[in-house]
Amino acid sequence: MRPIWKGAITFGLISIPVRLYSAVQEKGLKFHLLHDDDGGRIKYQRTCSKCGKEVNWDDIIKGYEYSKDHYVTFSEEDLEALDVDSIKAIDVVSFVPLEDIDPIYFNKTYFVAPDASGIKAYKLLADALGAEGQVGVAKVALRDKEHLATIRLKDGMFVLETMHWPDEIRAAEFEELDKKVDVRDNEVKMARQLIQQLSGTFNPDEFQDEYRKKLEELAQQKIEGQEVTVSAEPDAEPTKVVDLMEALKASVAEAKKKREDGSSSGSKKKTAGRKASTG
């Protein structure tokens, strides 16, 4: 992996040289836009709105529009000269419990790897942070923007999560939520039973991207020249729940059955394993 940023973790008077790597690789089928007449690919060009010429990356500068069609421009040197601690540092300003932070703030995840000269200080901070069970709240500038961020420990390595600023979070203002509805105690009780039946520990390996899998299969069929059949369109409107209580009862019963079936199949596997080991 190539680092996207180099700098340091700083807190107090401590500075740890580190490199930042993207921790997530999004997967999916990438589509290109094609001309339906001849299959030619549609391309986008960087053209100047004044002269109409195509512009190379080397001839492009950054501009801030302060009024309609009026810009001030910035060079890379201008941006690097800004006197902000977070430009070359993950500036940790405090430590807090992770549960104090609403997940709505989290944006993108990065691995934070130490430079050779900072390994001891890196491991020292990792051990201390792990013992305290907290995360660092920091500020860091990436790609021409300063981010609020957290830095936490995962499997002995630091992980940085950039965050949205408080004024970037929209207020949840929906008129529908102001309407009064009669929710009965027995409905709440049944809903809680359903939650309890579906409760467990989070195992990400139990989940997979079904849409991507089906799309890859469809693409392979087309590549191999197979005839692709299109299923009938689903109903435009989902089936409406006639009786909420009956739907809850049915859901609880189904969840119980799935859990019992899962437990019994797990017991059979253990018994088979014990028999194989004794034989």
Cα–Cα distance list, 169 to 104, 150, 215, 227, 247 (Å): 8, 17, 33, 47, 35
Residue 95 lies in a domain: yes
- Within 36-123, strands assigned E span 62-67, 70-74, 89-96, 106-114
Q: Tell me the residue range of the domain where 184 lies.
A: 180-199+246-258
Looking at residue 276, the DSSP 8-state letter turns out to be H
94 and 193 part of one domain: no
Q: Is the pTM of this model over 0.85?
A: no
- Compute the 3-state secondary structure of the chain and give helix, strand, coil in percent, each to the nearest 5: 40, 25, 35
Alpha-carbon torsion angle 18, 20, 24, 26, nearest 10: -160
Residue 109 lies in a domain: yes
Cα separation, 106 vs 101, in Å, equals 9
86 and 191 part of one domain: no
137 and 252 part of one domain: no
Residue 35 lies in a domain: no
Residue 105 lies in a domain: yes
Find, among 111, 122, 95, 88, the residue nearest to 162 by Cα: 111
108 and 16 part of one domain: yes
How many domains does the chain contain in total? 2
152 and 93 part of one domain: yes
Please list the pLDDT of the chain residue by residue as tens digits (279 residues).
889 899 999 887 788 999 999 888 878 778 888 888 888 888 888 888 888 888 888 888 888 888 888 888 887 777 767 666 556 789 999 999 999 999 999 999 999 999 999 999 999 999 999 999 999 999 998 877 889 999 999 999 999 999 999 999 998 888 888 888 888 899 899 989 988 988 888 898 988 888 888 888 888 888 888 887 766 665 555 555 557 788 888 888 888 888 888 776 665 555 555 555 444
116 and 254 part of one domain: no
188 and 145 part of one domain: no
Is residue 129 within 8 A of residue 95, CB to CB? The reply is yes
Cα separation, 165 vs 51, in Å, equals 39
Which CATH number characterizes residue 120's domain?
A: 2.40.290.10
107 and 9 part of one domain: yes
| Complete DSSP assignment for 105-130 | GEEEEEEEEE-GGGHHHHHHHHHHHH
Residue 64 lies in a domain: no
151 and 193 part of one domain: no
